[in-house]
Structure 1
Amino acid sequence: MNERRLHALNAGEPGQGPVLYWMHREHRARDNWGLLHAQGLALRAGRPLAVVYGLADAFLGATMRQFGFLLDGLRLVEAELSALNIPFFLLRGDPPEEIARFAGHHGAHTVVTDFDSLRLKRQWLARAAKALACPLVEADSRNICPCRAVSDKREYMARTIRPKIMRLLPEFLEPFPALAPHPVPWPGHGPANYFVAARAALAVDRSVAEVDWARPGTDAGMGMLRAFMAERLARYHERNDPNAGAVSLLSPWLHFGMISAQRVALEALRATAPAEARDSFVEELVVRRELADNFCLHAPDYDSISCFPDWAVRSLDKHRGDERPWLYGLDDLEGAATHDPLWNAAQRQMVRRGHMHGWLRMYWAKKILEWSATPEEALRAAILLNDRYQLDGREANGYAGIAWALGGVHDRPWAERPVFGSVRYMNFAGARRKFDVAAFVSAFGDARDRELLTAMR
């Protein structure tokens, strides 16, 4: 693998025991550069190889909707690894503490782990790096072009990061080698992972129902990819119409790292769809996703208005005292009890399915800004609802998207207006010009939403 994907997190000395791959973002056995690097180290040193996962009791407001999807996916990873003579250990408790304890007990040669741009994960990795006696090496298997290799600073917008990514794409968009059966067995007894007991013991919110349209695991994600390429990629130019069914629906599997964005790009570029559709999809998959990781890595205040560009902060401050004809609290928003039937239907889509159409996510967030007393209140509400209901919440893409919608991150100033100032505005009339709002409200709204829509005609 290209060693520019790697980043040393400490200066530890290799131990005499196994090589460990600490899985925490890339939840897959296939197409995983971190796991492949760990196996390469183990083979060269003649050591056993194991995968370890630290299951935290809570993670950024995730509910059983997200934890269930994760745990069911990890069971599939365990089975796939077992067939390759690679044990999987599910550890319970504080992840960096448990990983350091496990590595110390086994005299680990090296720990290889996943790159993650989120603040909490950076804290985990820093704590583990300090506690481990052996080397801790981070591998970026999330981004096709590694985040650290693309840029060492926060990029202003897509047009500034795009040429940097495109220059590196030929180097990094390469085929994956297969993960091989590991020839050195794990000494002693293998793990006993009680996934059912772990699920039952989690003290997380179980009131948000798990979804049935998205099955976890690499095979399910690749199945969705094949369906997208065969049935929807050719219509990708219709992706901003929530009724068109032209989007990939891959975000749950990409978010949980159950499929690789690099694998998705390789397959999409070979698809028989028109070149314009392939190129547009790869632009979204590569440039926009990798811009989000760049943002969160270099702006650790990504969930605060302090991350907004100066022009947006000044403009929003100027309009703090503007009259707001509609004000909604968190209960109203969560219950889809606003005067806007389209917003309500989008909120209901998210609550029911753990997914909201991409164009509507922008509209949804901007309306929260319009209906909140302050930008700070709007930001808190948007992040809380996104992370509670979306399968792909608690993700760099989500934080960057909300910061774009509310605070002009990766955008430019627009014509000044009340409340929004110079932050880009979106409205109901514009949605009606773009797609059949009535059809979407009919699909996801309730009787009250349909009545509201009728009254607006």
Structure 2
Amino acid sequence: APAARARRATAKTSRRGVTELARAMSVLATHLPAVAPRPPTGCASRWAPLRAATSTTKPPTRTGVRGAASSASASSPSSPDDATATVRPSSGVWCDPRRVRSLRGGDVPMGEGPVVYWMSRDQRAMDNWALCHALAVAREHRRPLHVVFALVPEFANAGARQYCFMLRGLRELESRLRDLGIPFHLARGPDPGVSVPAAAERLGCSMLVTDFSPLRIGRAWRDSVTTLLCPSDVPVAEVDAHNVVPAWVASDKQEYAARTIRKKINERLGDFLTDFPTVEDVREAATEAAAGADKERGTLGSVDWDGLIDAAQRGSGASVPEVLSPPPPRSRAPGESAALAALCGGDASFLPNRLALYGSRNDPNVPEALSGLSPYLHFGQLSAQRCAVEATKHRAKHPEAVDSFLEELIVRRELADNFCLHNPHYDSITGAPGWARESLALHASDAREFAYSVEELEQSRTHDELWNAAQKELTHLGTMHGFLRMYWAKKILEWTGEGPEEALRRAIYLNDRYQLDGRDPNGYVGCMWAICGVHDQGWKERDVFGKVRYMNYAGCKRKFKIAEYVERVEREVAKEIAVRSARREEAVV
């Protein structure tokens, strides 16, 4: 059948893409620094990163990439989001200058105050190119480095589940930065576009560095900070510390699919997939930067972390509580230490213990095959580049698993950032490809065999036991298996009589409300793929779906044992509810 041939062609293309990435990684492996023997506790023991390759060599020059950067520097920038925005050379040698974009002014601090790193998306002390760049500038010009984080009281309707995970991670981050000799401050207020400039001015900021986000709200905050920061001659720079290949280097346009961005990323991996400065390097640089500086220049006060966490648990986000009993091997302990332990330093860590199972990751009945790293990557408590560097060390033993993991970690994640960066309608039907918009509009009023309200969906009250189990896993455990997420979103389209726009709104609402790593480019692109055909192709036309790819219960039944999955979720949810109830009773007593 044509559909079967199309599926085989899609699978063949996917395998070819993984093979291309594997070939690129194989070549790259010969250029990575030699790996020193690790202590038994793995990479979580004092971070134990290698000395950065870029700390002793200049960034490599490559035809096309360097040329594009040079021509961009010579031209007048139109806006920070334009691919030709000014690319300023880094003041230090730790951070490849192509990771850095000048948003305002030059690259020399103005005045005697500290360099301020406004940390947002990348909430970690180590393996952070934005912090490395800020610290390199601070050290070169003998300015202390301060880190500011903008805490928004109620961000995008985040529940206690997401908010407390972030707060607990930030509490550890403050301690880590203090150990490195870097002050940490919270800038509180409903609008970081206002609170961050105020905090920076209070500290006497001489230069502001921030990390990169492709999302609408993050870019609006960034633009506001760049406009309002005083004095007006204080430079502002942006660093992509989230992607292995910086988003503006990987591509200057919206890519059609993974196959179109994969080659571009692979061509640049050799330039950007390097290791990071060690903790000793960072501490030494922070000490040198702060030497002789006025340490009493400014402060934003101490942080009552327990009070903030308690308020989050009792406030408007209490309806989405923290997950208290995450099923093994998934860990939900927040923070940089837990993130590194989940990667390669704990008894159930992914790389040394479960990487061999990664080929079974699409089976919902093998949850241990999943990496479990998504929340840490979302909150920036773990660097994707650290994951890639550590994964390459296991290639000789598990080549196929490593190649598949790197495809998801690098190509698919960075494709999502690319879509959100270059498509202003990344969460709307308007952002769908033309063929999908047309066919969905044509079938928007098709009769539905089943139709449910958003409340019925939220409460898992449909006729479909598989869908209900997936929604319960999301609601109570803060996660959903990746394969089932596709099925889940497509059924929302099928069961929403109001049409595809409302179906997309519901899917994004449920994902952002309950998923621990909601409000993420991967989440938006996942919903857009399932409902709007983004990064996919047109299929045989059918009712409701039009030409968007169809999934059904029978197809899932052929792939895995549905009853086994449903029973496991019911057990795990029952346990979580019981633990939560017991905790409430203890609080009352």
Normalized against structure 1, the TM-score is what? 0.95
In 1, are the aligned partners of 2:210 and 2:237 still within 8 Å (CA)? yes
Q: Of the candidates 448, 472, 492, which is equivalent to residue 324 of structure 1?
A: 448
Partner residue of 2:248? 148
Q: Counterparts of 2:311 and 2:105 in 1: how far apart (Å)?
A: 37
Q: Counterparts of 2:308 and 2:221 in 1: how far apart (Å)?
A: 21
Partner residue of 1:442? 567
Partner residue of 1:9? 103
Pairing 1:270–2:364 present: no
Shift of 1:107: 2.5
Alignment of 1:156-235 (within 5 A): 156-178=256-278, 179-181=282-284, 182-183=286-287, 184=290, 187-188=295-296, 191-202=301-312, 203-212=315-324, 213=326, 214-226=332-344, 227-235=349-357
In 1, are the aligned partners of 2:181 and 2:283 still within 8 Å (CA)? no
Q: Counterparts of 1:166 and 1:397 in 2: how far apart (Å)?
A: 20
Counterpart of 2:475 in structure 1: which amino acid? V
Secondary structure, counterpart of 1:205 in structure 2: helix
Pairing 1:85–2:181 present: yes
Counterpart of 1:198 in structure 2: which amino acid? L
In 2, are the aligned partners of 1:70 and 1:256 still within 8 Å (CA)? yes
Counterpart of 1:268 in structure 2: which amino acid? A
Counterpart of 1:240 in structure 2: which amino acid? N
Secondary structure, counterpart of 1:206 in structure 2: helix
Cα deviation 1:406-429 (Å, max 9, x = unaligned): 000000001111100110011100
Secondary structure, counterpart of 1:29 in structure 2: coil
Q: Counterparts of 1:204 and 1:72 in 2: how far apart (Å)?
A: 18
Alignment of 1:54-453 (within 5 A): 54-93=150-189, 94-132=191-229, 133=232, 134-178=234-278, 179-181=282-284, 182-183=286-287, 184=290, 187-188=295-296, 191-202=301-312, 203-212=315-324, 213=326, 214-226=332-344, 227-244=349-366, 245-271=368-394, 273-373=397-497, 374-445=499-570
In 1, are the aligned partners of 2:439 and 2:547 still within 8 Å (CA)? yes
Shift of 1:15: 3.2
Q: Counterparts of 1:442 and 1:198 in 2: how far apart (Å)?
A: 37
In 2, are the aligned partners of 1:61 and 1:384 still within 8 Å (CA)? no
Partner residue of 1:450? none
In 2, are the aligned partners of 1:349 and 1:444 still within 8 Å (CA)? yes
Cα deviation 1:197-241 (Å, max 9, x = unaligned): 333445532111102330011111111112111222111111100
Higher mean displacement: 201-210 or 57-66: 201-210
Partner residue of 1:449? none
Counterpart of 1:141 in structure 2: which amino acid? A
Secondary structure, counterpart of 2:148 in structure 1: strand
In 1, are the aligned partners of 2:113 and 2:143 still within 8 Å (CA)? yes
Secondary structure, counterpart of 1:187 in structure 2: coil
Secondary structure, counterpart of 2:537 in structure 1: coil
Partner residue of 2:34? none
In 1, are the aligned partners of 2:454 and 2:506 still within 8 Å (CA)? yes
Q: Counterparts of 1:288 and 1:117 in 2: how far apart (Å)?
A: 15
Q: Counterparts of 1:282 and 1:15 in 2: how far apart (Å)?
A: 43
Counterpart of 2:541 in structure 1: which amino acid? E
Partner residue of 2:76? none
Secondary structure, counterpart of 2:104 in structure 1: coil
Q: Counterparts of 1:325 and 1:358 in 2: how far apart (Å)?
A: 26
Q: Counterparts of 2:244 and 2:502 in 1: how far apart (Å)?
A: 35
Is the radius of gyration larger for structure 1 or structure 2? Answer: 2
Q: Counterparts of 1:362 and 1:74 in 2: how far apart (Å)?
A: 32
Q: Counterparts of 1:321 and 1:336 in 2: how far apart (Å)?
A: 24
Cα deviation 1:131-161 (Å, max 9, x = unaligned): 1231111100100000011111100000000
Secondary structure, counterpart of 1:83 in structure 2: helix
Q: Counterparts of 1:145 and 1:206 in 2: how far apart (Å)?
A: 38
Higher mean displacement: 222-231 or 293-302: 222-231
Shift of 1:186: 6.0
Partner residue of 2:125? 29
Unaligned segments of structure 2, at least 5 residues: 1-94, 327-331, 572-589
Cα deviation 1:21-73 (Å, max 9, x = unaligned): 10110010010000011110110111111110110122222111100000000
Unaligned segments of structure 1, at least 5 residues: 447-457
RMSD: 1.5
Pairing 1:42–2:131 present: no
Q: How many residues align?
A: 447
Secondary structure, counterpart of 2:121 in structure 1: coil
In 1, are the aligned partners of 2:125 and 2:131 still within 8 Å (CA)? yes
Shift of 1:382: 0.4
Secondary structure, counterpart of 2:316 in structure 1: coil
Q: Counterparts of 2:553 and 2:519 in 1: how far apart (Å)?
A: 28
Counterpart of 2:306 in structure 1: which amino acid? V
Shift of 1:400: 0.6
Secondary structure, counterpart of 2:457 in structure 1: helix
In 1, are the aligned partners of 2:147 and 2:185 still within 8 Å (CA)? yes
Cα deviation 1:270-302 (Å, max 9, x = unaligned): 126420110001000000000000000001211
Higher mean displacement: 128-137 or 4-13: 4-13
Secondary structure, counterpart of 2:338 in structure 1: helix
Q: Counterparts of 2:547 and 2:247 in 1: how far apart (Å)?
A: 30
Secondary structure, counterpart of 1:52 in structure 2: strand
Higher mean displacement: 211-220 or 382-391: 211-220
Secondary structure, counterpart of 2:318 in structure 1: coil
Shift of 1:443: 1.1
Distance 1:312 1:198, change over 3 A: same
Counterpart of 2:542 in structure 1: which amino acid? R
Q: Counterparts of 1:123 and 1:431 in 2: how far apart (Å)?
A: 41
Q: Counterparts of 2:249 and 2:545 in 1: how far apart (Å)?
A: 35
Shift of 1:194: 1.6
Counterpart of 1:389 in structure 2: which amino acid? Y
Distance 1:421 1:216, change over 3 A: same
Normalized against structure 2, the TM-score is what? 0.74
Secondary structure, counterpart of 2:226 in structure 1: helix
